[in-house]
Amino acid sequence: MDKVVITIARQYGSGGRTIGQMLSKELGIHYYDKELLKIASEESGIHERLFVGVDEKLKNSPLMRITKKIYQGQLIPPESGDFTSTENLFNYQAKVIKELAEEESCIIIGRCGDYVLRDYDNVLSVFVHAPEDYCIEQARNKLSMSDREIKKFIQKTDKERADYYKHYTGREWTDARNYDLCLDSSKLGMDRCVEEIRAYMAVRFRQ
């Protein structure tokens, strides 16, 4: 198989982003994270700050968390009043993710990539997780907060990601059945997680 796409969903502090960056370097393929927002902005003509404002979270409304807008693949046209709606911002991100999957081997971080590309044969979906204590320990290197504040921040961030995922996919974010491979980074370490993903690729895609 010529092109392989790896999607990585990750709990905050589990090191999923770092693992993606390490894989990108080892495999010599592009890594897409925040850059997806810029590309989606350029393709749609919608200001990038709107994409950033709802990146991997829903608007601060209880109704948004209760309702679902499961992604169907359609785009809302510019003449519609819903052109800059939260749903259409997601639609454009999904459009970019699909285009990348068809054009090149790459790594996609978050943004329901596993669901958007669920019908693509060249996709390997990964979920990186770890116990709370480990995530807090890792987050200390990035956040200037007390452990109590870090714990609350992690819980809030993971809840936002879970709500976002359920809103657009109808699925539970932490359900192992959504992914090809689930890795506990606290037990394996970053290097071994990369090795396990590469080993899975070798079997799955015969590379």
The reported pTM is 0.93
- Domains of the chain (ranges; CATH) run 5-204 (3.40.50.300)
List the one residue out of 159, 157, 156, 176 whose CA is nearest residue 167. 159
pLDDT at 182: 98
> What pLDDT does residue 64 have?
60
Contact 152, 145 (CB under 8 A): no
110/89 Cα distance (integer angstroms): 15
Average pLDDT over residues 35-55: 94
Give 18-25's long-range contacts (Cβ < 8 A, gap of 24+): 18/190, 19/128, 19/183, 19/185, 19/190, 19/193, 19/194, 19/197, 20/107, 20/109, 22/190, 22/191, 22/194, 23/107, 23/194, 23/197, 23/198, 24/107
Provide the pLDDT for residue 146.
Answer: 95
Can you give the pLDDT at residue 63?
A: 55
**pLDDT at site 2:** 81
